Amino acid sequence: RKEVEQDPGPFNVPEGATVAFNCTYSNSASQSFFWYRQDCRKEPKLLMSVYSSGNEDGRFTAQLNRASQYISLLIRDSKLSDSATYLCVPTTSGTYKYIFGTGTRLKVLA
Amino acid sequence: DVKVTQSSRYLVKRTGEKVFLECVQDMDHENMFWYRQDPGLGLRLIYFSYDVKMKEKGDIPEGYSVSREKKERFSLILESASTNQTSMYLCASRLTGNSQPQHFGDGTRLSIL
């Protein structure tokens, strides 16, 4: 099993829709989680940090399910500008290395 | 805001050349990282450094070396560039601690001809 697994997509959704995608992780010791967004040919940028059961920031909600070892990202009222690839990153105490998921591609359609 | 600056956005070099990629961060971060990103493969860690003059191999260090003489600067060196090193190279930095997010530079798109 891969350390971090994400559905590559693409998820094609109309503007205004709600979309959610999951990220599963294999290391049960993972404690903190990050979601990054990456636009085409650009660098990843931090979207959200998740330290406990979840986090909400405007239209974006991250929820953590430790029992099933996945973290989800929900985007409400999708905008064209939300089109990007979303990378999941679980982190584990005692290691410098972060394992990045390969990302889920979202396309919001007009 | 954290600023991670990479020396070049685009770079074209020839096979066999020694190539230097520079990265500077302005937030006094202890940890710095070099990744390469290729389609379908995601981000792969080449080397990282957790302190000045300290370096550790990542997952794909072959053909690369690094230098960290000052806290703010982390250099990636391609000893003898090859065509399979054509890629997007991303530098990142963060504070120590696993609850700290990484901040990325805007990348160097390197082509080896």
**Contact yes or no for A81/B20 (Cβ under 8 A):** no
Give the 3-state secondary structure of residue A9: coil
Contact flag B98-A97 (C-beta cutoff 8 Å): no
For chain A, the residues whose C-beta falls within 8 A of a C-beta of chain B are: 31-32, 34, 41-46, 49, 51, 87, 89, 91-98, 100-103
Instruction: Pick the residue from chain B with its C-alpha nearest to A86.
Output: B42
Q: So what's the pLDDT on residue A1?
A: 72
Contact flag A31-B45 (C-beta cutoff 8 Å): no
What is the number of other CB atoms lying within 10 angstroms of the CB of residue A43?
A: 20
User: Rounded to an integer, what distance in angstroms lies between the CA atom of residue B81 and that of residue B14?
Assistant: 7
Q: Which of A79, A4, A77, A86 is nearest to A40 (CA)?
A: A86
Q: So what's the pLDDT on residue A62?
A: 95
A54 or A25, which is more confident: A25
Q: So what's the pLDDT on residue B20?
A: 97
The predicted model gives A51-58 an average pLDDT of: 88
Question: pLDDT for B18-76, tens place per residue?
Answer: 999 999 999 999 999 999 999 888 899 999 999 999 999 999 999 999 999 999 999 99
Mean pLDDT of chain A: 93
The predicted model gives A2-9 an average pLDDT of: 92
Q: Which of B32, B21, B105, B36 is nearest to B72 (CA)?
A: B32
The predicted model gives B96-109 an average pLDDT of: 90
pLDDT at B2 over 90: no
Which of the residue ranges A28-32, B79-83, B92-96 would you say has the lowest mean pLDDT?
A: A28-32
